[in-house]
Chain A
Amino acid sequence: MKNKFIYLAIIAVGFASCEPEFDNAVDANYSSGEADFTSYVAIGNSLTAGYMDGTVSRVGQTYSFPNLLAQQFALVGGGAFTQPSYADDVNNLGGIQGLTGTRLVINASVGGVQPIAGSPTITLAPQAMAYNNMGVPGAKSFHLRLPGYGNPAGLALGQANPYFVRHATTTTATVIGDAMTKNPTFFTNWIGANDVLSYATSGGAKADGMTPAVDHNATGFINPLAYGGNDITNSNLFEDTYTNLINTLTNGGAKGVVCTIPSVTSIPYFTTVPYAPLSPTALGGATNIATLNAQLYGPLDAIFTAYGEPNRINPLSATSANPILIYDADATDRSAQITGALSGTLGVPTATAFGMVFGKARQATAADLVVLPASSVIGSPNTSSPSTSININGVTYPMANKWVLTANEKAKVAAATASYNASIRSIAATKNLAVADMNAIMNQLVSGLQIETGQIYTANYFSGSTTEGLVLFSLDGVHPNARGYAVITNEIIKVINQHYHSNLPLHNPSYFPGINIVPSN
């Protein structure tokens, strides 16, 4: 009898240590498939570097898609993944001392976007080290092969990049050269966006904001040393450069993923500010509109119509929102005709001034894209105007070239983007590399991209804390926020799983931060 009692007690103790066990551990089926993640190197630009909210910051960098990818690679044999050090960003402000501003945040007390208060502590002190993440913000395709791109002496001449200066191994090193010292077994390559986007984000203008930047698909120039900073790279140069980069990367048998270039119509930087934001109320009401029509819009409309351009300018409406007045570098120059038509009523000097101001002006149309920073310029006085009667940006003074990507400029960008992407896909095919079609994915965002959780994300800019959870773009309107980088990482993982028959887990974007909101700034 007593034995039975002891037996029961032992069973009880035995069960007391009874832990539930799964049939299969959570990572039982993870594998790298045909890929080898031992040494993963990422090359590219700001999108690869973890740039968001207008800068690279210490915390933001941890959400770069290569770093997020490396976390999953680590589960299947991936090695250590290093990124350029931002230890000097002690307060997580971003920016570069003396060069750029701090990271953008929403200041809740004023409800607007501002650089976070404080001065950047990030310096150009050289780390002289190759890292796994060789994403260099601002780099175009040919920059990755340019010796001296990390030479501080070249900064003033525009031949070097401060981000690469921070970690180039020598003053003559190239980005691709440094990348190869890591002996990559796997790579991601997302270069080419700046070859066309630096033109697009500057509204098709050079640094002066007015002179048109050059489309080298029209000029045929293939010497990048002669390119302006905002010029569109020639497609043949791009293809040669890209081929060269891929040949170098795959030299040692490395496998990888290449990413296509997004189109501008899928980036909130270009799609947030409407082309017709001037509501009758904003224009001061019916009386003011009538005055503007009588004194400016009417006369200009009459002149343009007389010369065969009846819809170049139309009178302002008192019932619906009106398009802004813009400078179009491709418009027919009517300054002489305007001067001539108005000399009688305004006198020659004033008429000449009008001619110079409005010679290439027109109203924006739905085919034009207004860049995000223009929103704080529209409606403000322009100091370049000769007279306070015609000095309101977008209303009585045409928006400068840099604020608008006109339909023509947009077409040049689209053609170059399509051409680069065709090259990327065909070069990838020759090396049997996986292609992450970021162009297609981000186009889907425009109408709504539904991810595996059922969550639907869009390409909208931040518009309030209640919908903040759906926003994938950071406050600079071009780069994803941490959540957006998680979505991008997942898309790349899916491509890797499919192409290399790996089994890697995803990240869940819902748990990633988006926009940073501070109570005051």
Chain B
Amino acid sequence: MRKLLSLTLLALAGSTAFAGGYRVSIQGQKQLAMGHTGVAIVNSAEVAFFNPAGMAYLDKKFNLSVGGNALFANTKFQNSQYNWEASSENLGTPFSVYATYKLNNWLTAGLAIYTPYGSSVEWDQDWQGAHLVNNINLQAIFVQPTISIRVGEHFSVGGGPIYATGSINFNKNLATNPLLSDNGSGSDVTLDAKGITAWGYTAGFMFNPSKKVRLGFNYRSEITMEARDGDATYADVPAFAAVNPALQNSTFNADLPLPAEVTTGISYQVTNKWLVAFDYNYALWSAYKELKVEIANGTTSINARNYQNASTYRFGTQYKANDKFTFRAGWYFDESPVQDGYFAPETPRNDSTGYTGGLTYQVNSKFGIDFSFLYLHFDEIENSYDHYSENGNVLPFGGTYKSSVFSPGIGITYGF
């Protein structure tokens, strides 16, 4: 068990952006199978993420949920005005580890480790959009010690600090102009920063007016990842520009906001086997106005983003067929925070519709295996990024994008 935990912690948390921007909404196998509803559901230790207040209602003294997904995200791009075609195939591995322990009948402690943000998008080096991005890999792991306090029969609160640690690796060409190129490959810069840390918090409450109904609310604060003194490395610089100070390897600073998120929801136990739930997420993406990279060699790159707040509407259902099998299904609609004219190929995400399903096979009363599956459908979208300039002229880059995301997942639940 310990080995498994340490291995999953070491595993790349990088996963492809979906669920709006670079948010990866895969924080639990059971709940993902239910359309990633969870703020008003008490199923497993996964509730430590969805609504810490819910930990107080878990039956068992000790609950553990460990899971991971293989997240496949493929995007195709084409532009018929210029006969351009490009594609990007990416694999990410989001994971989560949750553990709760009932200290007494009103106080429960928990630990949640999960990867709510990640983006791994790789295009061919020097493709037509290389001046915006060649490849990007950003990942964040949140470690969240949490407590949950039960206040009377029907009400509980919970919360705790979030310790975020992350890294970013971003490569892009310096210009579309082949003047800045060497041996056929455009001059490019790689921005690399590891071990970025920041703090935030989560807080929530749960209200159970009856045995059948639960209402939940959760707020996770905005966390700004501040990359300081990361490495800026230049490559493929032509000989005549080799001594240009703006092209000397240097260090960089940049801030990336991981937006605050508000979730409210309700679940209803239709029968003692059948549960339905609805969650509403509101992500405050408007905090991400621009990506400003300041390089110590004097260059500053301001990349306008102007994300807007985005909503997600989730429906999930769970059916406990017998002691061995429980089946789940869900559906959600995920608004993209990306505005028209700001559609950059490093986060090519428009509105999407998610279809989820899964099941739990309960080996014995303590141990179960969870399976989940997600398919995210994107409509074809024609959009562009209109905020890049070269030589004082705006150079828009756009075309038609089509993405397809799917993710099988597996996890184990252990409790006593």
Interface, chain A (partner B; CB < 8 A): 1, 4-5, 8, 11-12, 15-16, 18-23, 25-30, 72, 75, 108, 452-456, 465-470, 505-508, 510-515, 517-519
Contacts and interface: CB of A to CB of B under 8 A. Distances in A.
Given A1-B324, A20-B378, A75-B83, 9 more contacts: A18-B404, A22-B76, A22-B380, A22-B400, A25-B78, A26-B84, A452-B81, A514-B179, A517-B179
Contacts of A20: 74-76, 378, 402-404
Interface string B70-83: 00101110111111
A453 B396 contact: yes
Name which of B72, B75, B177, B404 has the most chain A CB atoms within 10 A of its CB.
B177
Nearest to B327: A4
Interface in B163-222: 175-179
A519 B395 contact: no
Given A8-B359, A519-B242, A469 B179 contact: yes
Contact of A26 (B79, B177, B375, B393): B79
Interface in B123-157: 128
A407 B28 CA distance: 81
Contacts of A515: 179
Contact of A468 (B179, B242, B396, B403): B179
B238 interface: yes
A505 B83 contact: yes
Given A453-B396, A510-B390, A514-B179, A16 B406 contact: yes
Contacts of B380: 22-23
B391 interface: yes
A511 B178 contact: yes
B253 to A, nearest CB: 25
Contact of B402 (A11, A15, A21, A511): A21
Contacts of B74: 18-20
Contacts of A18: 74, 375, 404, 406
Given A8-B359, A15-B375, A505-B83, A510 B395 contact: yes
A1 B325 contact: yes
B238 A514 contact: no
Contacts of A4: 327, 359
A4 B373 CA distance: 14
A454 B388 CA distance: 12
A68 to B, nearest CB: 12
Contacts of A11: 373
B340 interface: no
A21 B403 CA distance: 8
A263 B241 CA distance: 36
Name the 5 nearest CB pairs between A and B, nearest first: A505-B83, A20-B404, A26-B78, A20-B402, A108-B240
A454 B83 contact: no
Contacts of A518: 239-240
Contacts of A470: 391, 393
B371 interface: yes
Given A22-B380, A23-B380, A517 B175 contact: no
Nearest to B374: A15
A511 B242 contact: no
B59 interface: no
B83 A519 contact: no
Interface residues of B, number: 46
Nearest to A457: B393
Contacts of A467: 391
Is chain B's interface secondary structure helix, strand, loop, or mixed overall? strand
A510 B406 contact: no
15 contacts: A5-B361, A16-B408, A18-B375, A19-B404, A20-B76, A23-B380, A26-B78, A26-B84, A29-B80, A452-B81, A455-B395, A468-B177, A470-B393, A505-B80, A505-B81
B4 interface: no
A18 B75 CA distance: 11
Contacts of B354: none
B357 interface: yes
Nearest to A25: B78
B10 interface: no
B317 to A, nearest CB: 16
Contacts of A16: 72, 406, 408
B404 A454 contact: no
B371 A8 contact: yes
A465 B179 contact: yes
A513 B179 contact: yes
Interface in B230-272: 238-242
Contacts of A75: 83
B394 interface: yes
Nearest to B178: A513
Contact of A12 (B324, B361, B373): B373
A506 B240 contact: no
Nearest to A482: B178
Name which of B78, B80, B371 has the most chain A CB atoms within 10 A of its CB.
B80
Contacts of B357: 8
Contacts of A456: 393
Given A455-B395, A469-B390, A22 B78 contact: yes
A453 B84 CA distance: 15
Contact of B240 (A12, A452, A511, A517): A517
B314 to A, nearest CB: 20
Contacts of A27: 80, 83
A517 B85 CA distance: 31
Contacts of A453: 395-396
Given A8-B359, A21-B402, A507 B396 contact: no
B29 to A, nearest CB: 13
Contacts of A25: 78
Contacts of B391: 466-467, 469-470
Given A469-B177, A517-B238, A506 B81 contact: yes
Interface in B374-412: 375, 378, 380, 390-391, 393-396, 400, 402-404, 406, 408
A420 B144 CA distance: 80
Contacts of A511: 128, 176, 178
Contacts of B239: 518-519
Contacts of B373: 8, 11-12, 15
A26 B240 contact: no
A454 B393 contact: yes
Nearest to A71: B83
Contacts of B375: 15, 18
A290 B383 CA distance: 66
A18 B178 CA distance: 36
B406 A26 contact: no
A454 B406 contact: no
B395 A454 contact: yes
B213 to A, nearest CB: 30
Contacts of B176: 469, 510-511
A16 B73 CA distance: 10
A329 to B, nearest CB: 41
A514 B178 CA distance: 8
B384 to A, nearest CB: 10
B208 to A, nearest CB: 32
Contacts of B84: 26
Interface in B6-39: none
A455 B74 CA distance: 31
Nearest to B379: A23
Contacts of A466: 391
A506 B359 CA distance: 52
A4 B84 CA distance: 43
Contacts of A5: 359, 361
B22 to A, nearest CB: 19
Contacts of B324: 1
Contacts of A513: 178-179
B86 to A, nearest CB: 10
Name which of B78, B85, B179 has the most chain A CB atoms within 10 A of its CB.
B179
B394 A454 contact: yes
